[in-house]
A = this chain, B = another copy of it.
Amino acid sequence: MAAADQTARRQRGGGGAARRAERSAVSFETARYIERNIPNFEILTPEAIEIIEHNAEIVLEEIGVNFVENPAALQRWREAGADVQGERVHIPRGLARSLCATAPSRFTQIARNPARNVEIGGNTLVLAPVYGPPFVRDRLGGRRYATMADFEMFVKLAYMSKWLHHSGGTVCEPTDIPVNKRHLDMLYAHMSLSDKPFMGSVTEPSRAADSIEMARILFGSDVVDSQCVMTSLININSPLAFDSTMMGSLEHYSAAGQACIISPFIVGGAMAPVSVAGTLTQVLAEVLAGVAYSQLVRAGAPVIFGAFVTSIDMNSGAPTFGTPEASQITYGAGQLARRLNLPYRSAGAFNGSKLPDAQAAYESANSLNAGLLSGVNFMLHACGWLEGGLVASPEKFVMDADQLGILHKLAEGVPFDTNAQAMDALREVGPGGHFLGCAHTQENYASAFWRTNLLDYKPYETWSEEGARDTEALASAKLDKMLDDYRQPHLDPVIDEELRAYMTQKKASMPDAFI
């Protein structure tokens, strides 16, 4: 636009060359985590919340939860006053909720670049990439098992993505590295290729311990002992079972004061009842038991109320995403988390599509929008997820990561200062006029509207001449550029050496395992 160009020229002065330089400058900017200035959407009535909370206590007391192959956990529960029968823990009404009270309502996870520390809880929203896929699909190479090279690519993309605050954890499963050693390479990639906060390993308690040891090298033991440097994903084996692998990892992290996302993993209809109210009841019971247990390990350990919920397609048995039931549960669980004063994790760029196509985008957008309005504080899988989580897609990563900018702007709410009211503009322009050239537009255009860094806004003719590219093709070009532009953030060579030595020694200490 003329107005935009004129002002830009005036501000920069240098003419064509300067403009070109600015256009080609690489941005390593990361937006601050979101602080919502908008209300949460509350789908549950106070009566509904009361019923769910009442029923969840019945579940804990009368049905109970299993802590599997974990005598120490059973002993902790006994000492806390629970009725333990075999591996079944019956938690008296009110006990779990009262134990949860020692968990912080908000905490800081620090990054090695302090500008990228994140606050988790209250009105914040921290965005982290896809977690867990064993496959990668890209536009040129198709679908294949993920490798460590893919893993490093995703860490770089997350580092280069302005709207991602967090490097995540298992951005994909590097299947070319032995299963008992890959956590070391994965952690090292997050620590060395990015300076954003990251997650630790949970696939074995000893790997959680390794994660903490490597964090001690990176941050220093004094920092690890006094602050949260990792937020790790502890899934509950729904319904109502807590396995010893996940609980063993939780015990390491909680004892070290590191944060755990305590997260039912529910495919509704299979691992929970085929109703929203029933599923919310189960989610609440499971989180109450899990968070209470973390506080038995160490009162005050930071935790996040997690809710990963999808529902089963009753025709095919496949999990489904971006559905209305998933949105209802996301909204409802947010209300339950706030009643506990706990940070909340849910939603993500979830979808069941095989391709980064319209299905993938509809379903992802449904979930991302619900995530913002439900008060999510930590959103895992915020970009890159495909095919029900089996696949990580770099194109989808870039597409979703662009959409995350929308959440930032929407969360700011509607400004109402004198400038925002724009009465001068309305007076200046008047009936039948045009706002492009008016003073208010000249002063505000640069920051007025969120703008995509990916999607196509061009006229049809220009778009056709440029190859009539769809979103996937645009994303493919964009990600190539991001990887070309990537520069590794500086890491102290002494620390780097120490991390490598730890990995070498650990790897040498055990034979390779692939299952």
Q: Which residues of B contact A409 (CB under 8 A)?
A: 323-325
Binds B, one of A70-78, A152-160, A251-259, A364-372: A364-372
Query: A43-95: which residues lie under 8 A (CB-CB) from chain B?
Result: 43-44, 47-48, 51, 55, 58-59, 62-66, 68, 88
Q: Which of A424-477 contact B (CB under 8 A)?
A: 425-427, 429-436, 438, 440-441, 444-446, 448-452, 455-460, 463-464, 468, 470-472
Residues of B within 8 A of A228 (CB): none
Report the Cα distance A270→B88, complex, angstroms.
66
**Bound form: Cα–Cα A403–B359 in Å:** 10
Chain B residues with Cβ below 8 Å from A421 are: 51, 55, 275, 277-278, 281
Number of copies: 2
CB pair B353 A456 closer than 8 Å: yes
Whole-angstrom distance between the alpha carbons of A394 and B189 in the complex?
Answer: 46
Which B residues are CB-close (under 8 A) to A369? 365-366, 369-370
A74-118: CB near B (< 8 Å → 1, else 0) gives 000000000000001000000000000000000000000000000
Contact B410 A324 (CB under 8 A): yes
Q: What CA separation (Å) do A180 and B182 show in the bound complex? A: 71
Q: How far is the CA of A324 from the CA of B38 in the complex (A)?
A: 13
Does the CB pair B320–A441 fall under 8 Å? no
Q: A278-B420, A281-B426 are in contact. Are A435 and B269 (CB under 8 A)?
A: yes
Closest CB in chain B relative to A38 CB, distance in Å: 6
Shortest distance from the beta carbon of A368 to any chain B beta carbon, whole Å: 9
A384: interface (CB < 8 Å)? no
Checking B274, B366, B370, B451 against A441 with a beta-carbon cut-off of 8 angstroms, the contacting residue is B274
Contact B472 A269 (CB under 8 A): no
Evaluate contact between B471 and A403: CB separation under 8 angstroms.
no
Specify the chain B residue showing the minimal Cβ separation from A409. Answer: B324
Interface residues of A in 178-236 (CB under 8 A from B): none
Question: Whole-angstrom distance from the CB of A208 to the nearest CB of chain B?
Answer: 23
A451 adjacent to B313 (CB under 8 Å): yes
Task: Tell me, yes or no, whether A373 is within 8 Å of chain B by CB.
Answer: yes
Q: Is the CB of A332 closer than 8 A to any CB of chain B?
A: yes
A interface residue count range (under 10 / 10 to 19 / 20 to 34 / 35 or more): 35 or more
CA gap between A468 and B354 in the complex, in Å: 8
- Docked complex Cα distance between A272 and B51 (Å): 47
B387 and A460 contacting across the interface, CB-CB below 8 Å? yes
Interface string of A300-322 (1 = CB under 8 A from B): 00000000000111111110101
Q: How far is the CA of A423 from the CA of B313 in the complex (A)?
A: 22
CB distance from A269 to the nearest CB of B (A): 6
Chain B residues closer than 8 Å to A433, beta-carbon distance: 239
**In the complex, which residue of chain B has the Cβ closest to the Cβ of A356?**
B358
Selected from B353, B425, B436, B451, the residue in CB contact (under 8 A) with A471 is: B353
A131-163 at interface with B (beta carbon < 8 Å): 143
A328 near B: Cβ within 8 Å?
Answer: yes
- How distant is A464 from chain B, measured CB to nearest CB, in Å? 8
CB of A362 closer than 8 Å to a CB of B:
yes
Residue in contact with A63 in the complex, picked from B1, B48, B426, B468, CB distance below 8 Å:
B426
Known pairs A282-B426, A423-B58; A273 contacts B314 (CB<8 A): no
Instruction: Indicate whether A355 reaches chain B with its CB closer than 8 angstroms.
Output: yes
Say whether A415 faces chain B, with CB atoms less than 8 Å apart: yes
Q: Which B residues lie within 8 Å of A177 (CB)? A: none
- Report if A383 contacts B (CB, 8 A): no
Q: Does A327 contact B (CB under 8 A)?
A: yes
Do B440 and A273 touch across chains, with their CB atoms under 8 A apart?
yes
The 4 closest A-B CB pairs, nearest first, are A278-B422, A365-B365, A361-B361, A273-B422
What are 11 A-B pairs with beta-carbon distances under 8 A?
A1-B315, A66-B432, A239-B430, A239-B435, A273-B440, A274-B440, A274-B444, A280-B414, A313-B451, A323-B406, A325-B450
A: residues with CB less than 8 A from B are 1, 3-4, 38-39, 41-44, 47-48, 51, 55, 58-59, 62-66, 68, 88, 143, 237, 239-241, 268-278, 280-282, 311-318, 320, 322-325, 327-328, 332, 352-366, 369-370, 373, 387, 390, 399, 403, 406-410, 413-416, 419-423, 425-427, 429-436, 438, 440-441, 444-446, 448-452, 455-460, 463-464, 468, 470-472
Contacts A270-B434, A324-B410 supplied; 9 other A-B pairs, CB < 8 Å: A38-B43, A43-B414, A55-B423, A143-B460, A241-B431, A269-B448, A270-B435, A273-B435, A316-B458
